[in-house]
Structure 1
Amino acid sequence: MENMLKFSDWLIQLDPSSHPRELVVEVSTECNYNCVHCFRNAAIGFRGCTMDLDLFTHLLEEASNSGVKKIILSGWGEPTVHPDIMDMLRKMKDYGFYVVLNTNGSRLFEIAEDLVSLEIDEVFVSIDAFDVKLYSQIRRMGDFSAVSKGLEKLRNLKLQNGGVKPEIKSIFTVNKLNIGEVSKALEYARAFGVHEIMFSYYISYPGGHEELECMNSAECREKLRKELEKAALKYFETGIRVVQPSLMPTTMRRCPFASNRALFIRCDGAVAPCIYYSRNWSTKLFGVERKIREVVLGNIRNSKLIDLWRGPYLRMFFRLLFTYMPSCLDCTLQNYCSLTLSNEADCWGNKPSCAHCPYLHYLSYCPI
């Protein structure tokens, strides 16, 4: 009966060879930006940390032993501010992992040569505007020209070396301020060697910049639809891939973490099912405030990664992979249902519940 679930009259057993394939690793919660849409502003009792090299090396050993093939450096901070970031990238490549770096791009110019020489597989750069003033308004303390110079250097180094790595991708967080910038993204991407752009809704939170939320405004959603249409027309001349959010939530859902067999590792070694549920914080989607309670499966300091995958995560993995849960964000009762006010439980008896997660509903995207 080990690794077996019971649903009504059915017994469902996990394949004994099941294992995580990807990890999203948070090496630091420090950041040199103060973006208006950052989750950190909504965190409850947030405690920053930086992963030391010993723990990181132990994590790589655990990942290798568990069959992980891909590691993404991302999280509630900026990976490139870690003092040992280049050693970490080098160690991951030495282990043979497919390596992805998610960054705000502020240090790209400094590390571009290393990214190319190490053949880092992918680099995701967050860019939310192409106007210097607007960029600074959204990505406070950021420098748009520095990001552009970094991308330009990366592009030129790849051309000089005849290489294709790293593949450059971009994430654009949509809000009411930058909605008019969406259709400009493909021209910028072509000029600076970006191969793919992910458009993702800004996730509002209580006490934050709720006035910037686009997904809760019919007018803003219509503007986004038109901007995405303009962008789509440029696909054939630019060849830039575009990933766009659902304009509104529907029952069509997919968990990016479960589908990719991925887990999230916090900087303190705690293992969570995803980045969204890795800490205590609050969101406000479509006017409904929700408390997110952290979901921690264990810690790699004292548990084997494969045991956490096949043990504490087992039931949650099944429900996420087969979407065995209600669809809260398009439910007519969402404004009145007390169960949807947190992720602790839902009307199907799931504990915890992912039924109102914007990533599940294709409203926002993860770099995995």
Structure 2
Amino acid sequence: MKPGTVVVGASVAGVRVAQALRSHGHEGRIVLVGQEDELPYDKPPLSKGVLAGSAGLDDVRLLTTEEAADAGIELELGRAATRLDLAGSVVHLAGGTALPYTDLVIATGAGARPAGWEHLDGVHVLRTAADAVALREDLGRGGPLVVIGGGFIGAEVAATARGLGLTDVTVLDATPTLLARSVPAVVGDRVAELHRRNGVQVRLGVKVDSVDRIGGGLRIRLADGSEVDAATVVVGIGAVPNDAWVAGSGLKVDDGIVCDRFGRAAPHVFAVGDVSRWQASRHGSAVRVEHWTNAVEQAAAVAHTLAHPEDPRAHTPVDYVWTDQYDWKVQIAGTPVAGTEGRLFERAGDKFATVFGTADRFAGAVVVNWPKALVGCRRALAAATPAAEVCEHLNRLAPVSEVAL
């Protein structure tokens, strides 16, 4: 079999690398490998439109059969990568296929962090299209829903379930606020109140000890001795990179495939998206980022480097992620971190922004339902604008109240 560029992982990062290579004029063979039988699809809608039934998988496709054929991208779907022979430049797939490569891009993403209860009927995670279909089927039967984990996926599932008409929805999380890994407490508290206003029971600072099948339902036992019954449980307690298949290959793996600032893990081997731990100049360390925008931007940088090896392009993103819940759009730019000065800017109608940094350094912001503020914050991060100037800009946008945090 003729070697070429092999992209393992039909994620948004993998698809964008393959497409961008053609845009750069790459004429060699490109093979896109996907573990699922499905054509590549976008994942953020799984917890929203796809789960709600307002969007089908065909509405969120990243690549159709016709588009792949037109671009000369060979699809190997339903074929999980099982082993990497780094010395021989070969990727081995389930079923015995061996794909030789001249360049390899690993875009295998991340999977749900296991909790130990996933084998029980009625207990779900949400990482794939099959997960969304199975969860929607169970939600359609009604009954109480318990969401374990108050991160993006858990909070979005709870909001979608209320939109589907479920009247008994509970979110459990061990942290003191919702979205605790991603936003400051002042924002997490407001998101929790948003859920409560929409009929969701939000219980924070509680640890789940066990989930058991009791008769026809599920019983969740908490560390404080209390119990919650459910017809359906969704577990969203984080993700782990899908890097086990390269174990023993010679690549360095440390909670993701370790790369340099160009996404290079070894000569002619790159990793992109959720599975990549790359050297980030903005952070001053190696980071692994599970955000859609990061995956897309890293894919563009790696494709450029592959197509123009004499002019490698470092991946230097401005961090950005968003979540949609009810009628709120929560957008996070940069790294809103504890230990820096924070200020809250509020407008009427559930529009507000929190800005974090020092007088001469803008660290990041969380913006809710305020597009102009978000645009200004992202531009300020790209330009390394001092936090004081960002605050002045927000005060000029419209009448606001400003409070120190």
| Bigger relative contact order, structure 1 or 2 (CA pairs below 8 A, ≥6 apart) | 1
Larger relative helix fraction:
1
The structure whose Rg is larger is 2
Larger relative strand fraction:
2
Report the TM-score, using the length of structure 2 for normalisation: 0.28
